[in-house]
Amino acid sequence: MELNELSAPAGGFTSTRFILVEPSHPGNVGAAARALKTMGFARLVLVAPRSANVKNEPEAIAMASGADDVLASAHIVDTLADALVGVRWSVAMTARMREFGPPQMPPRALAERAHEFVRHGDIALVFGNERTGLANADVERCSALAHIPANPAYSSLNLAQAVQVLAYELRVAFQTQTPASPLAVVDSAEQSAASDEIEGMYAHLEEALVALEFLDPANPKKLMSRVRRMFARSGLEREEVNILRGIAKHILLRSGKD
């Protein structure tokens, strides 16, 4: 069963995944589960946690403090790609500015944008390891980037605290959203491509660029990172992904490398 089939979307609260990438402290996982439950969320995904048995760790259970159900139902996967299968829109949380990566927005703008997507499928908030945060490759896999504007003199936020801040902002946005006008044009969020579709397109496009000798795999520099940033700014729809894959396919066919 795919991860996106485990809970059918039924509004923002059930179609939002909170993804913790390589969490190292069981207590933080339990505290994150508690933060989610207090705000009405329940979908917690753990990517390669340091403790494979983290859901049963005494420290995690103690810090969950009544959110044992959220902790027990957390899904453990091997990679961020697995965690994002079927996701329409994903946001990487970061404590610092990145030279490359998707467009950045503050948490409140993130929450307001999120409710445009939850009507059409899953969204995900992605949090990094307590010590090192998210790798650049993980950030580039997401649709947007968010940063909590904390005190610049002391901006260190505990992982569970960051989860609480974003869960609160989403709760406010989901509770105050107004129904879309029936006369409104088709929402672009409805047409947006899923994360795994976009990643497949990037892999296909990179293969085509190598075949054209436009991209040197031995010295790629930042070409694909720049390509990702360019497309992330526009927000790819499924039809656009199919067009780009069609272009890549014909390049490979002409070069005899398909």
Do 193-255 and 9-176 fall under one CATH topology?
no
Distance CA 156, CA 58 (A): 26
CATH number of 9-176: 3.40.1280.10
- Report DSSP letters for the chain, one per residue: --GGGSS---STTTSEEEEEES---HHHHHHHHHHHHHTT---EEEES-SSTTGGG-HHHHHHHTT-HHHHHT-EEESSHHHHTTTEEEEEEE-SS--SSSS-EE-HHHHHHHHHHHTTTSEEEEEE-BTTTB--HHHHHTSSEEE-----TTS----HHHHHHHHHHHHHHHHHH--PPPTTSPPPHHHHBPPHHHHHHHHHHHHHHHHHTTSS-TTS-TTHHHHHHHHHHHH--BHHHHHHHHHHHHHHHHHHT--
pLDDT the model gives residue 98: 64
Distance CA 116, CA 171 (A): 14
190's CB contacts (< 8 A; 6+ apart) are: 119, 120
pLDDT the model gives residue 164: 97
pLDDT the model gives residue 258: 54
Residue with tokens 């439950």: 37
Q: Write the class of the CATH domain 193-255.
A: mainly alpha
Backbone phi and psi for residue 61, each to the nearest 5 degrees, phi listed first: -65, -40
State the distance between the two ends of the chain, measured CA to CA, in whole angstroms.
Answer: 31
Task: Answer whether 91's CB lies under 8 Å from 146's CB.
Answer: yes
Backbone phi and psi for residue 74, each to the nearest 5 degrees, phi listed first: -60, 140
pLDDT the model gives residue 181: 39
Using only C-alpha atoms, what is the Rg of the chain?
19
Between the alpha carbon of residue 10 and those of residues 39, 61, 74, 129, 164, the distances in Å are: 16, 28, 18, 29, 21
Q: Where are the domains of the chain?
A: 9-176, 193-255
Which among 62, 4, 3, 2 is positioned nearest to 33, based on CA atoms? Answer: 62
Distance CA 54, CA 61 (A): 9
pTM higher than the cut 0.85: no
pLDDT the model gives residue 10: 45
Per-residue pLDDT of the chain (258 residues; tens, 9 = 90+): 345 443 333 468 999 999 999 999 999 999 999 999 999 999 999 999 999 999 999 999 999 999 999 999 999 999 999 999 999 899 999 877 666 667 788 899 999 889 888 888 899 999 999 988 999 899 989 999 998 988 888 877 899 999 999 999 999 999 886 544 333 334 555 677 777 788 787 788 888 788 788 888 888 787 888 887 787 776 778 788 788 788 878 888 888 765
pLDDT the model gives residue 115: 81
Backbone phi and psi for residue 112, each to the nearest 5 degrees, phi listed first: -65, -40
Task: Answer whether 115's CB lies under 8 Å from 74's CB.
Answer: no
